[in-house]
Amino acid sequence: MTTGNEGQMIDKGITLARHLLDDRQKFPDGELRALLLQIGLTSKVIAHEVNQAALVGRLGTTGEVNIQGEQMKHLDLWSNEVLVNAMKETRLVCTMVSEEMEEPLHFDRNCLDGSYVVCIDPVDGSSNIDVNGTVGTIFSVRRRRGQGRDHVATDVLQKGNEQVAAGYVMYGPSTVFVYSAGREVHGFTLDQTIGEYVLSHPAIRIPQRGKIYSVNQGNYHRWSEQTRRAVDYLSAPDKATGRPYSHRYVGSMVADIHRTLIEGGLFMYPGEVGGGRKASGKLRLLYEVAPMGYVVEQAGGRASTGTERILDIQPSEYHQRVPVIIGSADDVALVEEFYRGQR
């Protein structure tokens, strides 16, 4: 008996699995493809939980504080556990770093199994959870360098330009999976009717210049003179140079950078002066800034600290923070000019 739905998946377009299978050049051995598929699958479980959080008592904080000194949310911990189990199951991952875990986690005691190191921010923008705002998951994949526990630090503390794949999932009005494994960036939208990610944004290119800047303006008085002057410039009216830029800030890096990727402009989280704890900003290099920087660069944009390319930074700590200016190439270059004293 037929249901009349046969072939529906094909009619619906290219699924994530189909897309990864078709690209034999980027995924010659199938391992990276399997890893990305597993991240995609796990994100569907998280998407469902995000959707149901208010109904299953998963809102609010646990009362615990993470290594960053931030309140942990139920959803942060739950999602971390789900991702850890999912990565372990693949037997392709040797070590994992997460915002929610103080130390890297090794799946096998001697660290001999698995070719990859995965860094994750399980729930990015978690302050948005309780107000039904957009959150995301960020992931970064590097190849391990050696074997055994002695190699852990060198495996994990690799520059962003060593990433072999990175991306994010955005749990917004629809759930979107965006990844790059080099050269191109592709976006998929979760089709709830078939439970599959379907290619909706092939080969994303970020506009060369945009009209939006995104930053927590409430920190203005703690910024350096250069940062304040750059933001003053962007918000000052001048028809000839297309100003003022509009200001948008979701407070979830995934959502702010996703908009930047599609519409152009820039997202910043600069360092602060005055000796506070945000001298290097707030965002973490390994599992927030490097993966998002990689995606934006592969789409033709730029990712900078203001004085240095993000992907060239040699990490020194697992939870290291760095200042970020990320987005359209011309807009990032413009802000860099302020840091160089050229404006």
C-alpha closest to that of 98 among 119, 113, 115:
119
Which range in 79-87, 97-105, 228-236, 295-303 contacts Mn ion by CB under 5 A?
Answer: 97-105
The identity of residue 131, as a single letter, is V
CB nearer to Mn ion: give 16 or 215. Answer: 215
Smallest gap, in angstroms, from Cβ of residue 289 to Mn ion? 10
Give the residues lining the site for ligand AHG (CB under 6 A): 70, 99, 121, 124-126, 216, 251-253, 282
The option from ligand AHG, Mn ion, none interacting with 252 (CB < 5 to 8 A, set by class) reads ligand AHG
Query: Is the Cβ–Cβ distance between 325 and 268 less than 8 Å?
Result: yes
E strand spans, 131-225: 135-143, 163-171, 175-180, 185-191, 196-201, 212-214
**E strands of the chain, at which residues?**
61-65, 71-73, 93-98, 105-106, 116-124, 135-143, 163-171, 175-180, 185-191, 196-201, 212-214, 246-247, 266-269, 302-304, 324-327
Nearer of residues 96 and 199 to ligand AHG, judged by Cβ: 96
Residue nearest to Mn ion (CB): 124
Q: Give the integer Cα–Cα distance in Å for 185 and 163.
A: 14
Q: Is the peptide bond before 270 cis (omega within 30 degrees of 0)?
A: no
Residue 251 interacts with, from Mn ion, ligand AHG, none (CB under 5-8 Å by kind): ligand AHG
Binding partner at 216 among ligand AHG, Mn ion, none, C-beta below 5 to 8 Å by kind: ligand AHG
Residue (125 or 301) nearer to ligand AHG, CB: 125
Q: Which does 80 bind (CB under 5 to 8 A by kind): ligand AHG, Mn ion, none?
A: none
Question: Among residues 19 and 282, whose Cβ is nearest to ligand AHG?
Answer: 282
State in angstroms the smallest separation of the CB of 247 from Mn ion.
21
For residue 5, the minimal CB distance to Mn ion (Å) is 38
* Closer residue to Mn ion (CB): 14 or 313: 313
Bridge partner residues of 166 (DSSP):
140, 180
Answer for which of 121, 155, 272, 297 binds Mn ion (CB under 5 A) is 121
> Radius of gyration over alpha carbons of the chain, in Å?
20
Structure tokens at 118: 């995965």
70 phi-psi bin (left φ>0, alpha ψ -120 to 50, beta other): beta
Cα–Cα distance, 278 to 150 (Å, whole number):
32
Which range binds Mn ion by CB under 5 A, 96-104, 142-150, 187-195, 235-243? 96-104
Q: Which residues contact 30 (CB under 8 A, 6 or more apart)?
A: none
Q: By C-beta, is 70 or 263 nearer to ligand AHG?
A: 70
Does 256 bind Mn ion (CB under 5 A)? Our answer is no
Nearer to Mn ion, 104 or 114 (CB): 104
Q: Verify binding: residue 124, Mn ion, rule CB under 5 A.
A: yes
Q: Which two tokens stand for residue 234?
A: 């962007």
99 binds Mn ion (CB under 5 A): yes
* Chain positions contacting Mn ion, by CB under 5 A: 99, 121, 123-124, 288
